[in-house]
């Protein structure tokens, strides 16, 4: 755990906040395109459902990036800067691919599909690698007290980017067509590149080679072994693996439950949009509160709200006709989810070692997402066995059981300090 300074750190400069918001929004733009817009457009052009489902495999670089993350921490352009040397060329590569897709005829692109699949794979590969460098830069730029706010920008910026290129792009297609709509996404990415283009990383955050390790054979093993051998890491992994499990178990079944109660696609789309905005607001609120109440109380309070939010979904079973009640519970659940995510990501940053920030954060995120994904995959089967109400209550209980683990981790982390005193 990093030492805390005697004086509270000043809030990061506005230029720093704009820089981070632009980088995470830039990551959300291609993600929204692939997750929300393209499946609709492909189906409208008669593409087989099985192939549309297989598009998820193109996101494998986001899961596998942990394998090359240590090299992103080690290797970069001496002229552009350590993290900036990765971010700039990768973001320009994403812009080039999207601009190329905008120039192609959509009929031929969707009929042949080969060029589209190659383009999407390149986008995922570039964006996932850029995410390693962006997270490393964020850890270095943000003092401990303000990492909650920084992660608000991460969660909020990413979700805004996804909304713009997801719902926004589908709306724009009807008015502007394929070429101009995709070109607008590329233009937005260019605008999001300007802050990192102007950022002088070599002056602001000079590389510290004494704290790094050689990028030779065995770097992957040395890097992660060093992280896992840090004091208290075993207890932190227990927090990391348990904190979002309740949410991962319950949230995939919210929309299927409402579908069973007769909600239409349009009604679900409106609910998703409004609840997503509530999640963004929750992320920003969580970041501001994190700076005031600290890591322990933020994890406990936001974790409690998260558990209550997912358990409250049980109230909606057989109550889908009550529109106001559905919106009330859904907005509360999404707000709590945004707050808890920000707190977890902020404490993840505390575990990152100097000059190891990108890979250390990546490993923690990958571990947490992998287990959450496996648990989420069982949610449908459990809903069939237990019923929706029991599933949501069980998910809430699982969320509550994570809170004593949080207390144990902080108690163990504070023990050496009390002995010195």
Whether the Cβ atoms of residue 159 and residue 166 lie closer than 8 Å to each other: no
Residues 407 and 328 in one domain: yes
pLDDT at 391: 92
Q: Is residue 4 part of a domain?
A: no
Residues 197 and 259 in one domain: no
Q: Is residue 8 part of a domain?
A: no
Residues 129 and 242 in one domain: no
Give the phi and the psi of residue 268 in degrees, each rounded to 5: -70, -35
Q: Is residue 111 part of a domain?
A: yes
Residues 42 and 152 in one domain: yes
Query: Residue 370: which CATH number?
Result: 1.20.1250.20
The three-state (H, E, C) secondary structure of the chain, written as one string:
CCCCCCCCCCCCCHHHHHHHHHHHHHHHHHHHHHHHHHHHHHHHCCCCHHHHHHHHHHHHHHHHHHHCHHHHHHCCECCCECCHHHHHHHHHHHHHHHHHHHHCCHHHHHHHCHHHHHHHHHHHHHHHHHHHHHHHHHHHHCCHHHHHHHHHHHHHHHHHHHHHHHHHHHHHHHHHHHHHHHHHHHHHHHHHHHHHHHCCHHHHCCCCHHHCCCCCCCHHHHHHHHHHCCCCHHHHHHHHHHCCHHHHHHHHHHHHHHHHCCCCHHHHHHHHHHHHHHHHHHHHHHHHHHHHHHHHHHHHHHHHHHHHHHHHHHHHCCCCCCHHHHHHHHHHHHHHHHHHHHHHHHHHHHCCCCCCHHHHHHHHHHHHHHHHHHHHHCHHHHHHHHCHHHHHHHHHHHHHHHHHHHHHHHHHHHHHHHHHC
pLDDT at 236: 93
Token look-up 């990108």 returns 358
pLDDT at 210: 64
Residues 299 and 411 in one domain: yes
Residues 166 and 238 in one domain: no
Of the three residues 154, 181, 206, the one that is the final residue of a domain is 206
Q: Is residue 212 part of a domain?
A: no
Residues 69 and 200 in one domain: yes
Report residue 181 as tokens: 């709509």
Q: Is residue 5 part of a domain?
A: no
Q: What tens digit of pLDDT does each residue of 177-231 get?
A: 889 999 999 999 999 999 999 998 888 887 776 666 777 778 888 888 888 888 8
Beta bridge partners of 81: 77
Half-sphere exposure of 414 (CA within 13 A, CB side): 9
Residue 137's domain spans which residues?
Answer: 13-206
Of the three residues 206, 230, 251, the one that is the final residue of a domain is 206
Residues 89 and 154 in one domain: yes
Whether the Cβ atoms of residue 325 and residue 319 lie closer than 8 Å to each other: yes
Residues 108 and 191 in one domain: yes
Beta bridge partners of 263: none
Q: Is residue 211 part of a domain?
A: no
Q: What tens digit of pLDDT does each residue of 349-369 get?
A: 988 888 888 999 999 988 888
Residues 239 and 90 in one domain: no
Q: Average pLDDT by consecutive 10-residue portion of the chain (421 residues)? A: 49 88 91 80 77 76 90 84 92 95 87 84 93 92 86 87 84 87 94 94 78 75 87 90 92 87 81 88 92 93 96 88 90 94 92 88 87 84 90 95 94 62 34
Q: Is residue 150 part of a domain?
A: yes
Residues 46 and 188 in one domain: yes
Residues 189 and 270 in one domain: no
Q: Is residue 7 part of a domain?
A: no
Of the three residues 206, 229, 247, the one that is the final residue of a domain is 206
- CA angle, 335 as apex, 163 and 185 as ends, to 5°? 10
Q: Is the dihedral of CA 166, 171, 172, 176 positive or negative?
A: positive
pLDDT at 320: 66
Number of domains forming the structure of the chain: 2
Give the span between the Cα atoms of 197 and 84, in whole angstroms.
Answer: 8
Give the span between the Cα atoms of 239 and 248, in whole angstroms.
Answer: 15
pLDDT at 420: 37
């Amino acid at each position: 755990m990093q030492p805390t300074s005697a004086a509270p750190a000043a809030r990061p400069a506005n230029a720093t906040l704009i820089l981070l918001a632009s980088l995470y929004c830039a990551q959300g733009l291609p993600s929204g395109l692939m997750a929300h817009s393209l499946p609709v457009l492909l189906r409208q052009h008669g593409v087989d459902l099985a192939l549309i489902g297989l598009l998820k495999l193109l996101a494998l670089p986001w899961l596998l990036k942990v394998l090359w993350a240590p090299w992103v921490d080690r290797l970069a352009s001496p002229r552009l800067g350590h993290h900036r040397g990765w971010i700039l060329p990768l973001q320009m590569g994403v812009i080039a691919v999207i601009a190329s897709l905008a120039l192609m005829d959509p009929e031929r692109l969707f009929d042949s599909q080969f060029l589209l699949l190659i383009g999407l794979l390149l986008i995922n590969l570039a964006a996932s690698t850029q995410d390693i460098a962006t997270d490393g830069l964020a850890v270095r730029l943000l003092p401990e007290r303000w990492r909650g706010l920084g992660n608000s920008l991460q969660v909020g910026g990413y979700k805004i980017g996804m909304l713009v290129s997801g719902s926004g792009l589908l709306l724009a297609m009807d008015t502007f067509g394929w070429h101009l709509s995709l070109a607008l996404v590329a233009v937005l990415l260019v605008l999001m590149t300007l802050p990192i283009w102007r950022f002088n990383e070599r002056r602001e955050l000079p590389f510290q080679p004494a704290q790094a390790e050689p990028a030779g054979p065995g770097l992957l093993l040395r890097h992660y072994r060093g992280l896992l051998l840090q004091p208290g890491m075993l207890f932190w992994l227990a927090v990391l693996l348990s904190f979002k499990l309740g949410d991962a178990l319950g949230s995939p079944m919210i929309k299927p439950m409402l579908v069973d109660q007769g909600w239409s696609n349009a009604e679900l789309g409106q609910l998703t949009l409004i609840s997503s905005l509530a999640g963004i607001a929750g992320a920003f609120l969580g970041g501001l509160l994190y700076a005031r109440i600290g890591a322990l109380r933020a994890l406990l309070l936001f974790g409690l709200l998260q558990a209550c939010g997912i358990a409250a979904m049980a109230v909606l079973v057989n109550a889908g006709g009550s529109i106001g009640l559905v919106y009330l519970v859904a907005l509360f659940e999404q707000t709590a989810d945004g707050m808890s995510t920000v707190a977890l990501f902020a404490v993840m940053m505390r575990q990152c070692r100097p000059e190891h920030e990108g890979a250390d954060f990546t490993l923690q995120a990958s571990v947490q997402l992998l287990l959450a994904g496996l648990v989420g995959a069982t949610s449908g089967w459990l809903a069939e066995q237990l019923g929706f109400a029991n599933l949501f209550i069980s998910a809430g209980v699982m969320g509550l059981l994570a809170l004593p683990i949080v207390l144990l981790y902080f108690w163990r982390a504070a023990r050496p300090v009390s002995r010195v005193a």
